[in-house]
Amino acid sequence: MKNKPAAPTYSEYDNFAFHPYNVMLMLLLIAITALFLGTSAAFIYTRVTNGVGAVKIPWLFAFNTLILLASSYAMQQAKKAYLDDQTKTYQSCLLATIGLTFIFLGLQFAAWSQLFSVNIFLASNNAASYLYLLSGLHFAHVLAGLPFLGLFLWKSKKLMIDPVTVLVYFSDPEKRLRLRLLSTYWHYLDALWVFLVLFLFANQLIS
């Protein structure tokens, strides 16, 4: 009589969908989505009811899209390097993600400065207010994720100092879960920025 294969061992870390951390992340992403969709809908309603013209978005918004897509790719490579136990690549990709994020934040200030230079301020009109609000909210969410990226890089430098500690680090299911959560959040922010740029550009065409 053939032996039955052993039943797979349940792991709360591998069963990603039902882990409390994942549930909290999904609730957070749903709340952020509702916030941005609601703000975007209010923007459209204000323009239609008040007949407010659109504000031309700075070209740096489009360039920043490339920066964020590059950071998303670096984050994906960091996750891949983690799963492949590649210490140096993992750390380098995390560092690249952080560096690209700082570039994005800096260029976002430069984009707002472009608006200031043509006398478009937060209180100029409703369209300008919504442009600053939407881009500012996204800026805040990117900024909120930056400490977690820094923490991952710092811990990897601190905890991976020899072959044994490297093995322990890469085999820790909780770290794998947290990296997956952070990666999901980062890709979501990139997709959200693409939506915002397309949304603002479409509003710009409908003057």
Which CATH number characterizes residue 165's domain? 1.20.120.80
Parent domain of 92: 19-205
Closest by Cα among 179, 181, 173 to 22: 181
pLDDT of residue 28: 94
Give every residue of the chain whose pLDDT is below 70, as ranges.
1-18, 207
* 14 domain residue, yes or no: no
CB 19 within 8 A of CB 184: no
* 152 domain residue, yes or no: yes
Domain count, the chain: 1
Cα dihedral: 41, 141, 60, 133 (round 10): 40
* 187 domain residue, yes or no: yes
pLDDT in tens, 81-94: 998 989 999 999 99
* 91 domain residue, yes or no: yes
pLDDT of residue 16: 58
* 8 domain residue, yes or no: no
Cα dihedral: 118, 123, 124, 125 (round 10): 140
pLDDT of residue 207: 59
* 195 domain residue, yes or no: yes
* 43 domain residue, yes or no: yes
* 11 domain residue, yes or no: no
pLDDT of residue 18: 65
Sign, Cα dihedral of 99, 102, 104, 110: negative
pLDDT of residue 162: 86
pLDDT in tens, 50-86: 877 778 889 999 999 999 999 999 999 999 999 898 9
